[in-house]
Structure 1
Amino acid sequence: MRSEVLVTASELEQLIAGDAPPRILDVRWQLTEPDGRAAYEAGHVPGAVYVSLDDELTDHGVPDRGRHPLPSGDALEVAARRWGIRDGDAVVVYDDWNRAGSARAWWVLTAAGLADVRILDGGLAAWTGALETGAAHPEAGDVTVTHHDLYAGALPTLSADDAATLGSRLTDARAPERFRGEVEPVDPVAGHIPGAVNVPSTSLLDGAGAFRPTDELAEALGDTAGAYCGSGVTAAVAVAALAVVGVDAALFPGSWSQWSGDPSRPVATGG
């Protein structure tokens, strides 16, 4: 399953040189620096197209679904064609921060029905080839999105009510101090969903930012059935790690930002 979710930098180089090179998407995003376009234009994998997580992989017009609601399939199809994706294309996504942006793109595109989407293992730091500057302007693609509601798409999702029932099978992918409720830099309430287990998304990566060996991922994530984070972005790293293991785990897209925005929802603190 690992090779169906991840691609190494050397494998990507071979694909680029082959007869059917993949469409490459640069999804640079950080919580403190959501716009990665300047970094992209300063140097990216040759041929890569910049994708804005906040503007193209999110629909901020959706109410009560957290800080990063999923985009509609229709809007995603328009964006994917703008990125040059054609029906049948293989797609490789990468980022430069903890696999957050690439995991979000992998999840969104796969949930929309694209069959061959993989994450560059290790991100941009793993790429040893030349970098290209400026912006790519590919010819428009013709890809067709088969799932127009990503909340009921090709990958499973959790509602807040669903998440409440999972107990220890629900993984919280945030940093430990946010899980414990000691700090909360973004959302109005600190803490976690009662019963959830904390497995920080960064703990699923090695020192170079690549996903840890498959057996280690399986041990770290145990019997996880669903994952959440602050707003459904870094939880996609946990879902991707579970896909590597061969587990089809569900994402709670609204995550803590949706849960904590509802005063009727219980909040737990501590370890």
Structure 2
Amino acid sequence: MADLITPRALADSLAGHPPPVVLDVRWRLGGPSARADHAARRVPGAAFVDLDTELAAPAGPGAPRGRHPLPEPERLQEALRRVGVHDSSTVVVYDDADGSVAARAWWLLRWAGFAADRVAILDGGFAAWLAEGCSAAGDDVPAGEAAPEPAREQGTVVVRPGGMPVLDADAAAGLARTGVLLDARAAARYRGETEPVDPRAGHIPGARNAPSAGNAGQDGRWLPPDELAARFRAAGADGAGPVGAYCGSGVTASSLVFALERAGLTPVDAPAALYPGSWSEWSADPDRPAATGESP
């Protein structure tokens, strides 16, 4: 089962030795950067890691690889070493939304070679941390001033890509025909009624809709495994065959990979595959067909 950690459990872990490395991956669609939010208030000891520049490669003109391509292993390794990650580290990641951005960081760490039991998502994110009365770095700093960053030792982690399965466009098209390919975008985008970001509206022919927003409750905490399992079975992913996921740019689809594992529908050693290029890559290729409407 995919790992979640509660705020109280994380607070206890931070008092232990060695404490986990905590990564703040808060992000704003369209900007501005959440780095200022991190500077003002954060989980004590957390380091900020930027989705656009460290957890993704540059998109490039026309986004031929999608809007958030996988980072080069060397760049990801540099970012993880900067915040003190070692091969032996346990890492906790959090955002301040529905956990989807944290799931991207979780996925990348697994892809980079971290075992499932050494990477966790803070359930409910930073909002849950505050709601449970946990102290935040910055609480004792005058308004408008940044909380001092702690000194960090340089990490020694070695990124070994390949720990999670990845699909390219052709493999995604094939899986949509022969297995289950889940589209994590909102239903209106899946149906092709609106497309605010990418070149064309619609979805990959054969894909089924399972919006990532449905993975969490109104409080931002992940749904229980049985509720997630029921949701995915209704979308056609019952654990009987191969499954993959995509979204707009390859970020929120990571939360489907996490949720499928949490639901027990994919084993830890055979997780769902991620199509990193996602709709932003697919729709930029005029030779790729686009389906619209409710049906796959």
Q: Shorter-normalised TM-score: what interval?
A: over 0.9
Superimposed CA distance per residue, residues 244-269 of structure 1 (whole angstroms, 9 cap, x where no aligned partner): 12311011000000100111111011
Q: Does 1:132 align with 2:137?
A: yes
Q: Give the corresponding residue for 2:19.
A: 21
Give, in whole Å, the separation in 2 of the partners of 1:250 and 1:140: 34
Query: Which amino acid in structure 1 is aligned with residue 124 of structure 2?
Result: G
Q: Give the corresponding residue for 2:262.
A: 244
Give, in whole Å, the separation in 2 of the partners of 1:197 and 1:250: 15
Q: CA deviation at 1:64?
A: 2.1
Give, in whole Å, the separation in 2 of the partners of 1:34 and 1:192: 29
Q: Give the corresponding residue for 2:196.
A: 185
Q: Does 1:228 align with 2:214?
A: no
Return structure 1 stretches of 4+ with deviation > 3 angstroms. Answer: none
Q: CA deviation at 1:185?
A: 0.8
Out of 164, 167, 175, which is 1:166 matched to?
175
Q: CA deviation at 1:166?
A: 2.1
Give, in whole Å, the separation in 2 of the partners of 1:88 and 1:140: 14
In the superposition, relative to structure 1, how do residues 108 and 188 fare at CA in structure 2: closer, same or farther (>3 Å)?
A: same
Corresponding residue SS for 2:182:
strand
Give, in whole Å, the separation in 2 of the partners of 1:143 and 1:72: 17
Superimposed CA distance per residue, residues 167-197 of structure 1 (whole angstroms, 9 cap, x where no aligned partner): 3611100011111111111101011011111
Q: Give the corresponding residue for 1:96.
A: 96
**Conserved 8 A contact 2:77-2:157:** yes
Out of 111, 122, 144, which is 2:157 matched to?
144
Corresponding residue SS for 1:171:
strand
Q: CA deviation at 1:19?
A: 1.9
**Conserved 8 A contact 1:73-1:145:** no
**Conserved 8 A contact 2:83-2:155:** no
Q: CA deviation at 1:131?
A: 1.1
**Conserved 8 A contact 2:98-2:213:** yes
Corresponding residue SS for 1:256:
helix
Q: CA deviation at 1:38?
A: 1.0
Q: Give the corresponding residue for 2:218.
A: 207
Corresponding residue SS for 1:53:
coil
Percent identity between matched residues is: 51
Q: Does 1:157 align with 2:166?
A: yes
Corresponding residue SS for 1:227:
strand
Query: Which amino acid in structure 1 is aligned with residue 194 of structure 2?
Result: V
Give, in whole Å, the separation in 2 of the partners of 1:61 and 1:54: 9
Q: Give the corresponding residue for 2:144.
A: none
Query: TM-score with structure 2 length normalisation?
Result: 0.85
Q: CA deviation at 1:95?
A: 0.2
Corresponding residue SS for 1:56:
coil
Q: CA RMSD in A?
A: 1.6
Q: Give the corresponding residue for 1:123.
A: 125
Q: Does 1:216 align with 2:227?
A: yes
Corresponding residue SS for 2:87:
coil
Query: Which amino acid in structure 2 is aligned with residue 229 of structure 1?
Result: C
**Conserved 8 A contact 2:74-2:159:** no
**Conserved 8 A contact 1:80-1:141:** no
**Conserved 8 A contact 1:30-1:97:** no
Q: CA deviation at 1:135?
A: 4.9
Give, in whole Å, the separation in 2 of the partners of 1:146 and 1:29: 23
Give, in whole Å, the separation in 2 of the partners of 1:140 and 1:20: 13
Q: Does 1:253 align with 2:285?
A: no
Give, in whole Å, the separation in 2 of the partners of 1:227 and 1:55: 23
Give, in whole Å, the separation in 1 of the partners of 2:259 and 2:11: 23
Superimposed CA distance per residue, residues 83-123 of structure 1 (whole angstroms, 9 cap, x where no aligned partner): 11123110000000221221111111110112311110111
Aligned residue-pair number? 265
Q: Does 1:176 align with 2:187?
A: yes
Give, in whole Å, the separation in 1 of the partners of 2:231 and 2:24: 28
**Conserved 8 A contact 1:201-1:237:** yes
Structure ID, larger Rg: 2
